[in-house]
């Protein structure tokens, strides 16, 4: 009896002492959580811009009844342009802030952990370099677009609620304001733009910045932008052409023709009047070549992280 009880207690102690095995998905999840803990600007910067937008929108609410009356005298094509301008500007500002944060995050993501020598601690954990790099890449490619969309929806919902209260107080039709605004369709267009441009089209750009962040020993920002600039200057001087500069402009500009629309090139990325061309986008060679280069850059960044020493 004692022998059996001792065996049971010993096996229980061994099972408690055995380390829990984490799946690769779980490791990846906690790596992403780590990035959000360390880089709170990922969500704080867009939130700060949203707060400023809401504060500024208070001044737009004062003449809103007069703006609504004036918009009703316009043709339908210009009614939305008159009423939705603050909403479009709000979405563009939040998206722009997220884009800037993504660039600076990608440049510092792998360089920063070598600079403060925290890489020595993180390498002691059972997490591969590829998992770490992929988790860092998911911040600008997945997390930032989703955060941008969520904050934009919340911000514009508050703006819509405040506008409705003001219009009801002035005795005007809230339903007419909602129908002219086409807010939910505009938000769908914004989500489409974030997925196609910021998640897919910008992938090689963010992967390049992560590669430079893993490689550079000093001044990663300069190393990220000076080589493309030097190539463009060399091409212009040597061959009197600007193909490389046009290529960079098309890539940084989001591939407007392929990603969003064939017409209305001056429209905001969330304009409901845009003509979506997902088939053209998915058939674009630039998309798939960019994704191939993004994969190469990320694998190279993981190998560099393995052998780079702290600065």
pLDDT in the model for residue 270: 59
- How far apart are alpha carbons 146 and 151 in whole angstroms? 9
Question: Which of the residue ranges 46-60, 119-133, 150-164, 206-220 would you say has the lowest mean pLDDT?
Answer: 119-133
Please state the pTM of the whole predicted model: 0.84
- Check residue 249 and give its pLDDT: 83
- What percent of the residues of the chain are helix, what percent strand, and what percent coil, each to the nearest 5? 80, 0, 20
Classified as helix, coil or strand, 52 is helix
Q: Is the pLDDT of residue 41 over 70?
A: yes
As a whole number, mean pLDDT of residues 194-215 equals 93
Whether the predicted pLDDT of 160 surpasses 70: yes
Residue 15 pLDDT exceeds 60: no
194 vs 79, higher pLDDT = 194
Query: What is the mean pLDDT of the segment spanning 94-102?
Result: 94
Q: In angstroms, rounded to a whole number, what is the distance separating the alpha carbons of residues 214 and 210?
A: 6
């Amino acid at each position: 009896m004692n022998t059996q009880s001792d065996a049971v207690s010993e096996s229980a102690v061994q099972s408690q002492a055995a380390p829990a095995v984490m799946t690769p998905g779980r490791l990846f999840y906690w790596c992403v959580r780590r990035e959000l803990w360390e880089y709170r600007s990922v969500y704080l910067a867009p939130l700060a811009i949203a707060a400023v937008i809401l504060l500024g929108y208070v001044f737009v609410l004062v003449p809103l009844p007069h703006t609504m009356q004036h918009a009703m005298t316009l043709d339908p094509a210009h009614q939305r342009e008159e009423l939705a301008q603050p909403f479009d500007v709000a979405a563009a500002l939040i998206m722009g802030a997220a884009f800037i944060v993504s660039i600076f995050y990608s440049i510092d993501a792998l360089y920063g952990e070598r600079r403060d020598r925290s890489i020595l601690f993180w390498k002691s954990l059972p997490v591969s370099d590829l998992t770490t790099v992929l988790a860092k890449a998911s911040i600008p490619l997945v997390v930032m677009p989703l955060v941008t969309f969520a904050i934009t929806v919340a911000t514009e919902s508050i703006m819509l609620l405040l506008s409705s209260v003001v219009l009801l107080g002035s005795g005007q039709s809230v339903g007419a304001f909602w129908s002219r605004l086409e807010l939910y369709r505009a938000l769908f267009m914004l989500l489409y733009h974030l997925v196609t441009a910021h998640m897919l089209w910008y992938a090689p750009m963010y992967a390049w910045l992560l590669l430079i962040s893993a490689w550079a020993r000093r001044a990663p920002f300069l190393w990220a932008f000076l080589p493309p600039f030097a190539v463009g200057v060399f091409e212009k001087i040597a061959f009197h052409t600007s193909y490389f500069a046009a290529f960079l402009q098309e890539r940084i500009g989001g591939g407007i023709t392929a990603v969003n629309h064939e017409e209305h090139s001056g429209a905001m990325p969330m304009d409901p009047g845009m003509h979506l061309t997902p088939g053209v986008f998915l058939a674009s060679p630039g998309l798939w070549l960019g994704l191939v280069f993004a994969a190469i850059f990320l694998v190279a960044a993981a190998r560099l992280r393995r052998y780079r020493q702290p600065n």
